Chains A and B, each alone.
Chain A
Amino acid sequence: MTAIRKERQGQDMALTAGIVALIVIFSLLPMARLLQEVILPGGQFSLDVIRNGLIDDTTWRATWNTLVVGLGGTIFALVLGVAVAILVSLSDVRQRQAFVLCFVTPLMIAPQVTALAWLQLFGPSSPLLNMLGMAPPLGTRNPLYSPEGIVFLLGIQYAPLVFLIVRAGMRKLPRELVEAAQSSGAGWVRVLGTIILPLMTPSIVGAAALTFVSCVGNFGIPAFLGIPANYLVLPTLIYQRLAGGGPDVLSDVAFLSVLIGVIAMVGIVMQDRIASRRDFRITSTSLPAAPYQLGVWRVPVELGMWALIALILVLPLVGLILTSLVRGYGVTLTAETATLENYYFVIFQHAAASRAFLNSLYLSAGASIFAVFVAIPLGYVIAWGNKRWIKALNLAIELPYALPGVVLAIASLLLFLKPMPITGIQIYNTVWIILYAYLARFLILAVRPTITGYFQLDRALEEAAQVAGAGLFTRMRTIIFPLIAPAAIAGGLLIFMTALCELTVSALLWSSGSETIGVVIFSFEQGGDSKYAAAVSAIMVATTFLLMLLASLFANKLPDGVLPWRD
């Protein structure tokens, strides 16, 4: 009896120890190293790094720019996302499922691909404008190379994020709260303004905070649109410093990345303050309110919504594909001049590009498989455990993803710049440092759906196995894993899709031989080879669509809300 109990406790301890080790390695260690670089450079307390950073004009300009595009992008995304959420959730528009799929898709496409696609729509070399004979004369600046352009694309990129969060909130709105207002004499506009939107405050503010953090940390869009215009934000400033200065400027960029982290944190803290100022808790559950009858406005509104899809999804993708078919700069695209050479070139001829496909494949597969297997025990402890430190645990796993990617990239760089102690293994300048950063950053994407899955599972299933005499690891293997695997795998798939075209982290960590697809697209575009960048991007968009389709095939086995594009 005591032997058995000992074994049980041993398994419990092993699980706890494993999870603590994981948190330390992938969350606490890199963050601690980053802070140390800023406050305790070389082990000595000093404020020099901070002072040097603060007296630099560039820092202030980049910070200001970061705030401008961050707030601008957030506001635009909020307006668009909330408006669409209202229409989809509260009115009687048709074809909702298809519309939601199309509207959310930009979120699945990497920001630098979005940026590239939009760039192909405007400017003198736009194949679409050239075909239509509307292209501006050569030498005209692309209007997207501007802060307005960055704000616009950030808004489009993250409006689906706002939409998803607000839509989820609106689904929980019980119809009685709306009907009580209606029978008090309030018309629809009034109900929307005084009841529905105020009750959605937590969702809207939460979405705003998340969008703000995403906008502030976004690298792809300001890199493609801002660098040519010499409009630098903090992530692009860090990239330029690092690309120009190498490891010598590490303290500098460490300070800058902490600065981004602080800005992001301010956003999160403000969300918390606003959301807790009033009571928005909806306690009852009920059917959703009857949809508002648009009447004669139904068809115009529906047309408007699909026009929006054409604008934010179809048009840029058309631009992207057209560019990928162009023979060379300035050649007008026609049926005769169209070519697949660019695709052939990037897949077979360009060494770095073909290497990058494999690298990204291995990296994202590795990150997602690791995350699936870690998420299951981790989710078990978070969802079903009764330990007091669980909240802190959850926070620690959220941190590397909640903070902008640049922060984690710089932290990883600092952590692995020197060979690891004892083993002497050097992973800096190899593909392994990127893998480490991916593991740390994306783990939460698999943990979240897994926790949702646990909450929807009856714990008695596990307890029945326990009563039957199964130890913790046996239960994990035979009961929990089979039941929770679909949710965790869906999370893994999200990681795979996100990591496949990832740029923010890999742009700072790549080296020759460890290029990723994101880096290759970026390099092609920087070198003026838009057609090659477009070809790689088109391949990646197609891959993304295929993966979405694949995931949708087993959607009915998944907990609700795990696949973001399914309404």
Chain B
Amino acid sequence: MAGLSIKNVTKTFGEAKALDNVSIDVADGEFLAVLGPSGCGKTTLLRMIAGFETVTGGNIHIGDREVSSAEANVPPEKRRVGIVFQNYALWPHMSVSENIGYALKVARVPRAEREERVKNALALVNMEQYGDRRPANLSGGQRQRVALARCLVAEPRLVLFDEPLANLDVHLRASMEDEFADFHKRTGTTILYITHDQAEAMALADRIAVMDHGRLMQLATPRELYHEPANEMVASFISQGMVLPANVETAEADGQCRVTVLGQELVVRCRKGEKPRKDARICCRASQIQSVGTSQPGFEGTITRAVYRGGSARIEFEPEAAPHLGLHFDQPDPVSFAAGERARLAITSGWLIPADGAA
């Protein structure tokens, strides 16, 4: 096992910049998820780590060894990196055991040892009795397990997952998620996990790297991403956060400061050293908005939509002061709001998005 270090990596395809100065350090044994909307450059990043794409600038180290730089590129077959592909990429002309044993055969591991290791790998993914099957005769989840076993058998220094659950149905997805987490705990492998599904990333990863338009937006633990987004993109991307304009009224004290949002004054969490400023942004979640009585601090507006979701309703709301700002929050049963009604809302807390937006 080894850590992974990506330093200032840039990749251009002709004019287009697929990756722009991305730096990520993955500790030995860490489970790191790379999360982002499609086209954000996460797949390009994975393909560069695996060696299928060259870097235009910057460098990549696996363990102590530099594998990619603008000058040199260690070929994929020399990197000892395992990949679990989205479409499994099992070779249809080989049996499950042959698929798994391929890397060992290439490395000229003696037959007896090879068989032993294939057997262990099959056991690791609970597929002992399927060794002689053809990939075509397996279900989606079983194929994914074989793909996992295949990449583990060679004891790679690093395992890359390329949206491994995207092709599975919702039901199977949850159980595979558990298996991946369990597997990581048992083997302690360094894992880089590419996904566009934030629930998946949150559930699995030690840390998450959020990417957008080829740039790294924030690299932090799931908790930190949710509570302390570094910029507007992360704030709105993670769990549908709402980004609202605010004026900072007081300097930071004890990790908090006083702000005015939509005419309401409230206290929000913030970074150390925040000073009063205009045109700031805060991030707040649906759970941090509630309806209040007319005498309490808050702001007026109109309910535009109420969607009942069983047990509670998602209410969409347009504040009078800024009608283009759509807010939403959940109202538990009994749901009393209906579209077109007037209401008074208050924000209970939030997070002041740092001015520089740096991760």
| Cβ of A283 under 8 Å from chain B | yes
Q: Which residues between 181 and 205 of chain A lie within 8 Å of chain B, taking CB atoms?
A: 181-187, 190, 194-195, 198-199, 201
Contacts of B50 in A (CB 8 A): 179, 183
Does the CB pair A176–B80 fall under 8 Å?
no
| Cβ of B145 under 8 Å from chain A | no
Interface size class of A (residues with CB under 8 A): 20 to 34
Does the CB pair A179–B92 fall under 8 Å?
no
Does the CB pair B92–A280 fall under 8 Å?
yes
Does the CB pair A279–B93 fall under 8 Å?
yes
Chain B residue nearest in CB terms to A199: B93
| Cβ of B282 under 8 Å from chain A | no
Q: Which of B88, B106, B107, B154 has the most CB of A within 10 A?
A: B106
A82 to B107 Cα, complex, angstroms? 28
Contacts of A279 in B (CB 8 A): 92-93, 134-136
Q: A176-B87, A194-B102 are in contact. Are A185 and B107 (CB under 8 A)?
A: yes
A306 to B135 Cα, complex, angstroms? 41
> Which listed residue (B52, B77, B92) contacts A283, Cβ 8 A?
B92
Question: What 1/0 flags go to A275-287 for Cβ under 8 Å of B?
Answer: 0001111111010
| Cβ of A177 under 8 Å from chain B | yes
| Cβ of A269 under 8 Å from chain B | no
A278 to B91 Cα, complex, angstroms? 12
| Cβ of A270 under 8 Å from chain B | no
| Cβ of A180 under 8 Å from chain B | yes
Q: Which of B51, B53, B75, B89 has the most CB of A within 10 A?
A: B89
Q: A180-B150, A182-B77 are in contact. Are A280 and B93 (CB under 8 A)?
A: yes
A353 to B87 Cα, complex, angstroms? 61
For the residues of B in contact with A, the DSSP-based class is loop
| Cβ of A539 under 8 Å from chain B | no
A195 to B90 Cα, complex, angstroms? 11
Q: How many A-B residue pairs have CB under 8 A?
A: 85
A176 to B103 Cα, complex, angstroms? 15
Does the CB pair B76–A284 fall under 8 Å?
no
A177 to B90 Cα, complex, angstroms? 7
Contacts of A284 in B (CB 8 A): 87-89
Question: What 1/0 flags go to B64-76 for Cβ under 8 Å of A?
Answer: 0000000000011
Q: Which residues between 120 and 159 of chain A lie within 8 Å of chain B, taking CB atoms?
A: none
A187 to B103 Cα, complex, angstroms? 11
Chain A residue nearest in CB terms to B86: A176
Chain B residue nearest in CB terms to A179: B52
Chain A residue nearest in CB terms to B102: A184
Contacts of A182 in B (CB 8 A): 51-52, 75-77
A280 to B91 Cα, complex, angstroms? 8
Question: Number of B interface residues, CB 8 Å?
Answer: 33
> Which listed residue (B51, B52, B91) contacts A199, Cβ 8 A?
B91
Distance in angstroms from B81 CB to nearest chain A CB is 6
Distance in angstroms from B109 CB to nearest chain A CB is 11
| Cβ of A174 under 8 Å from chain B | yes
Does the CB pair A184–B91 fall under 8 Å?
no
Q: A182-B75, A201-B93, A290-B52 are in contact. Are A176 and B85 (CB under 8 A)?
A: yes
Question: What 1/0 flags go to B113-138 for Cβ under 8 Å of A?
Answer: 00000000000000000000011100
Contacts of B85 in A (CB 8 A): 176, 179-180
Contacts of B107 in A (CB 8 A): 185
Contacts of A195 in B (CB 8 A): 91
| Cβ of B229 under 8 Å from chain A | no
Distance in angstroms from B344 CB to nearest chain A CB is 52
| Cβ of B83 under 8 Å from chain A | yes
Q: A183-B50, A185-B103, A194-B102 are in contact. Are A281 and B92 (CB under 8 A)?
A: yes
Question: What 1/0 flags go to B199-228 for Cβ under 8 Å of A?
Answer: 000000000000000000000000000000
| Cβ of B82 under 8 Å from chain A | yes
Distance in angstroms from B14 CB to nearest chain A CB is 16
Q: Which of B79, B80, B92 has the most CB of A within 10 A?
A: B92
Offer 25 A-B interface pairs, CB within 8 angstroms, sorted by A: A176-B85, A176-B89, A177-B89, A179-B50, A179-B52, A179-B76, A179-B83, A179-B85, A179-B89, A180-B89, A180-B150, A182-B52, A183-B79, A183-B81, A184-B150, A185-B107, A194-B102, A198-B93, A199-B93, A278-B93, A279-B134, A281-B92, A282-B92, A283-B136, A290-B53
The 10 closest A-B pairs by CB, nearest first: A184-B103, A176-B89, A284-B87, A182-B76, A180-B89, A176-B85, A186-B106, A185-B106, A198-B93, A182-B77
